[in-house]
Amino acid sequence: MLTIDLSGKRALVAGVADDGGFGFAIAKSLAEAGARVSVATWPPALGIFQTLLRRGKMNESRTLSNGQPLEFEHIYPLDAAYDTLAAAPPEIVENKRYKEVGDFSVAGLVERVRADFGEGGIDFVVHSLANGPEVRKPLLDTSREGYLAAMSVSAYSMVSMVARLAPLMKPGGAFLSLTYMAGERVIPGYGGGMSSAKAALESDTRTLAYEAGRKYGVRVNTISAGPWASRAASAIGIIDEMVAYCARNSPLPEGITAKEVGDTAAFLLSPLASGITGTTVYVDKGYHAMGKAVEARYSPPPEGDPQAE
């Protein structure tokens, strides 16, 4: 039988702060396949996440098919906006949510991973995080600061993670990120430079696959997921509309599940996908393939309408 067997493998999933998003679903699928999983969590969400875990609020969602709970080997603090602690401004370093957690930068994460697992101690890294402070603003109204913040956290952070974590990975290791179709088609409402960040992330997937493939023998792919009402997506304000719209207009007329993204991630990271790198894989019920809304009806403009000319 051909199965996904990740026993003996170790994964790090960055961007998990509850059980409602893709990062959690990916962690769970990896654990279902036998991998040991650590997560990295944004400091402002870390305390709540740890409290939810401690109080057993996620016990149901953490239950694997063998009845055992999904356990995280480590929960690391990570603010992906900073490559080093020295790059973080004093108001962040002094902030009460950051002060106690130690080095929350990408370099800090790498040092902890090195200390915990050693050189060659990690097989898979998942980047499942994004942030755009002006995501609700159209691109035309987006400030330079907001645009660059979206690019920094949602795209450059992947470059930084591949550059710093690839040297620690075993040969045959693999990276994966999460993107959205707004990087290649217009999704009104997905603003603030987030569409630009996803376009960069997808382009970087190809370049990083080449560069890190040649240098470290690792693979780099991205999953373009259909809309899903995670915490981050709900903050954008159009997610319910997008979920319903895509379900109505996709070749498979239904919404995606986070598990479908998790299982695809497990496959893409596994040795079964050893020939796949530099690729954007759609987990969207086929919505990306459509060129016309199924529900739309064309009515010719009435005579005398200026649009008729």
Which residues contact ligand NAD by CB under 6 A? Answer: 15-17, 20-23, 42, 45, 78-81, 128-131, 153, 178-180, 225, 227-228, 230-233
For residue 27, which of 170, 162, 157, 176 has the smallest C-alpha distance? 176
Rounded to a whole number of angstroms, the minimum distance from the CB of residue 41 to ligand NAD is 6
Q: Which is nearer to ligand NAD, 15 or 146 (CB)?
A: 15
Measured from the Cβ of residue 177, the count of other Cβ atoms closer than 10 Å reads 30
Residue nearest to ligand NAD (CB): 21
Please tell me which residue in 82, 147, 156, 180 is annotated as part of the active site.
180
Phi and psi at 56, nearest 5°, equal 75, 15
The owner of tokens 């957690």 is 101
Rounded to a whole number of angstroms, the minimum distance from the CB of residue 163 to ligand NAD is 17
Q: Which is nearer to ligand NAD, 129 or 200 (CB)?
A: 129
Q: Which is nearer to ligand NAD, 167 or 189 (CB)?
A: 189
Please tell me which residue in 190, 210, 216, 245 is annotated as part of the active site.
190
Rounded to a whole number of angstroms, the minimum distance from the CB of residue 19 to ligand NAD is 9
Q: Which is nearer to ligand NAD, 153 or 273 (CB)?
A: 153
Q: Which is nearer to ligand NAD, 89 or 300 (CB)?
A: 89
Distance between CA atoms of residues 17 and 152, nearest Å: 20
Distance between CA atoms of residues 148 and 126, nearest Å: 22
Rounded to a whole number of angstroms, the minimum distance from the CB of residue 16 to ligand NAD is 6
Q: Which is nearer to ligand NAD, 22 or 156 (CB)?
A: 22
**98 catalytically annotated:** no
**190 catalytically annotated:** yes
Please enumerate, as own/partner, the contacts of 7-10 that have beta carbons within 8 Å and a separation of 24 or more.
7/33, 7/34, 7/35, 8/34, 9/34, 9/35, 9/36, 9/123, 9/124, 10/35, 10/36, 10/37, 10/38, 10/73, 10/117, 10/121, 10/122, 10/123, 10/124
The owner of tokens 């999933």 is 13
Q: Which is nearer to ligand NAD, 23 or 193 (CB)?
A: 23
- Cα 242 to its chain centre, rounded Å, is 18
Active site residues: 180, 190
